[in-house]
Structures are given as structure tokens and as C-alpha cells.
Amino acid sequence: MAPEGGEEQQREGGEEQHREEEEEEGEVGEDHDAPAHYPSAPLDELFDISTTVDPSYIISLIRKLLPMGTGTRDHCDGVVDGASRVQSSSNDHMEASGYDNENAADTVKQSACQEGEMENSCDRNRQQKISAEEEVWEEYGCVLWDLATSRTHAELMVENLILEVLLANLMVSQPVRVTEICLGIIGNLVCHEVPMKVIVSRSELIEIIMEQLFLDDTECLIEACSILSIANI
């Protein structure tokens, strides 16, 4: 018969070995599950990007969408008119001083040619400036068109009178592309609850949008129909 002390030692040795095995299994599980005291992985800087747009930037874009003016044409007309007045004064002076009629006629003809060249030059400059203004306007308009998909940005735009600016553009003769961008911005604005209520309350704006249904341009028609459909008009 084995001594009782030996049985107790064997039993204690078996229990100790069992506890050691359980602890080893626990450590393996904890390693697999990443214990809480381990530091978390660093954030990926590539995706840690803020999407907030400076409100002042949006406001500046809205101001740049004011209808394009004709200041260059007015300036050129003023230059031509000024040249005509100078020539008229010169002719009067020549007549008063008895200047030879033949020489005077040649001078008048030469001045007329110069005046015609000046008008043509002003027309070319005006066309070039209008083309450049349209490109810049289109660039800013497309940026606002994209930003209007955000509810926060859309509400900010409405608060800063973008509807008034767009209405002013739609009420004057503009290139078809400008009309399309105006309608596109409104189409994105109307997708948000608060801007939609403001748009629907502006009867003059709704009327001008409905007038665009008579345009012979597919893109403008699509945008106009989309606005009226979303607003249930």
C-alpha cells in the first residue's frame, strides 16, 4: 500500500500542472485577441482628412457668380467717342483757319479708318475678355455645384444669397452652359429640406425655372425638370 503522503503529493502535482496548462491557454487566447493594455495601432494619415470647407471661401465663390458685365465694351465705346469728338474739333479748327479742303478730306478719311480699326480692336478685346470671364465663371460655378451636394454647404449658400445671384443670371441673356450650371446648383440645393423650402417659396425663381423648359438644350431641360420634380411643382 502506497503511503498517504505520496498520494497527496501526486494529487497536488496534477492540480498544479492543470493550472499551468490553463494559464498557458489563457495567455495564447489573450495574445490572439490583442489584450486591452496593448497600444492601439496608429491612425492612417492618408485617411485622416478633414472635409470642412471654409465658409468664407464659399461666400467668395458666390460673389464671383454675379452676372458678367460689359465694362470693357463701355470703355471702348468711350474711347471711340472721345476720338470722334477730338476729330470733330480738329475739323472745325481747320475750317476756321481756311485749311485746304483736299488736305482736310484726306485727314478725315485717315481718321475714319483709324476709328474703324479702333472699333474692331475694341470688339476683339471685348470678345476675348468675355470668353475669359465665361471660363472663370464656369470654373467657380462647377465648384459650387459640387459643394451644394452637402446639406451644410447648401444651407450656407442659401443664407448667403446664392439664390438671388442665380436668379440674376437666369434673368439676363447668358450662354447655355451658364444656364445649365445655375440650374444644376439649384437642383442640388433643392435636394435638402431647408433650401428646398426657401426655393419653393420664391415664386419668381420658380417661374424663371419653368421658362427654361422652352430651351432647346437637353442638359438645361434635364436640370429644370429635375428641380420641378424634386420640389413637387
Total count of residues recorded for the chain: 233
Tell me, what's the pLDDT at 174?
86
111 part of a folded domain: yes
Q: What is the pTM of this model?
A: 0.57
Number of domains the chain is built from: 1
Q: How many helices (H) and strands (E) does the chain have?
A: 10, 0
**In CATH, what number is assigned to the domain containing residue 66?**
1.25.10
34 part of a folded domain: no
CA distance linking residue 117 with residue 97, whole number of Å? 29
Q: What is the gyration radius of the CA atoms in the chain, in angstroms? A: 39
92 part of a folded domain: yes
158 part of a folded domain: yes
CA distance linking residue 156 with residue 124, whole number of Å? 39
Find all residues with CB under 8 Å of 160, minimum gap 6, and list them.
58, 59, 62
Supply φ then ψ for residue 14, to 5 degrees.
Answer: -70, -40
> Residue 151's closest CA among 183, 192, 182, 198?
192
120 part of a folded domain: yes
Contact 158, 194 (CB under 8 A): yes
17 part of a folded domain: no
Contact 142, 181 (CB under 8 A): yes
Tell me, what's the pLDDT at 225?
95
Domain encompassing residue 86: 55-230
CA distance linking residue 164 with residue 166, whole number of Å? 6
CA distance linking residue 109 with residue 163, whole number of Å? 52
154 part of a folded domain: yes
Grouping H, G, I as helix, E, B as strand and the rest as coil, residue 52 is coil
Please give the chain's pLDDT, 233 residues, in tens: 545 555 555 555 566 666 666 666 555 444 444 444 544 544 444 444 444 688 999 999 999 999 876 443 344 444 334 444 444 554 555 455 554 555 655 665 566 556 666 666 666 665 666 678 888 999 999 999 999 999 999 999 999 999 999 999 999 988 999 999 999 999 999 999 999 999 999 999 999 999 999 989 999 999 999 999 998 88
29 part of a folded domain: no
Burial label for 72, CB within 10 Å (0-12, 13-18, 19+), is: middle
Contact 199, 163 (CB under 8 A): yes
Tell me, what's the pLDDT at 133?
83
